[in-house]
Structure 1
Amino acid sequence: MPRYFFDVRAGGPEFDDTGTELSGPDDARQKAKRLLPDIARENIPEEGDHHTFAVMVKDENGHPVYSATLTFAGLRLPR
């Protein structure tokens, strides 16, 4: 089974050195789509109302196969 690596940017870059065995690029895409909301939920900064979270999925040869971003944007409204 091929191995895919999920490099995440949620403030600073975090590189996946272990990877995950998945059946193919479609499964890697689905995993990335589930991963981003979890990362955002845990990493939305207390200060500031704008943040972008990103994941780059690479195959065993280091070739990118999928990229996704999720943007948090908050706006404080007057009373």
Structure 2
Amino acid sequence: MPRYYFHTENGDRIRDDQGEELAGVDAAREEAVTVLGEILRYRGASFWTTRSFSVIVTDAEGQTVVSVTASASDTAPEGWRLSEAG
């Protein structure tokens, strides 16, 4: 099974030197979302300080295979509208 490394970035970079053996890229995607969710849950309101947090997944050769980022803002995304239910 291939080994994937889950590095994090929020102004500070934390390198994952252990990695995790997973079945493939789809499993790495799922794990990246899980890792990001756990980090955001742990950080709580302090997430607003950095306003962005990323999990970057690399393979054994150091190539990026997955990247997922959560960002925070005090405004809605461009083009977002709340449509009224009829």
Task: Provide the C-alpha distance between the structure 2 equivalents of 1:50 and 1:11, rounded to a whole number of angstroms.
Answer: 7
Percent of aligned positions with the same letter in both sequences? 36
1:53 aligned partner? 53
Q: Is 1:4 paired with 2:12?
A: no
**TM-score, with structure 2 as normaliser:** 0.74
RMSD of aligned Cα (Å) = 2.0
Task: Provide the C-alpha distance between the structure 2 equivalents of 1:64 and 1:50, rounded to a whole number of angstroms.
Answer: 23
1:13 aligned partner? 13
Number of aligned pairs?
Answer: 74
1:35 aligned partner? 35
* Cα offset, 1:40, TM superposition: 1.1
More helix by share: 2
Secondary structure of the corresponding residue to residue 60 of structure 1: coil
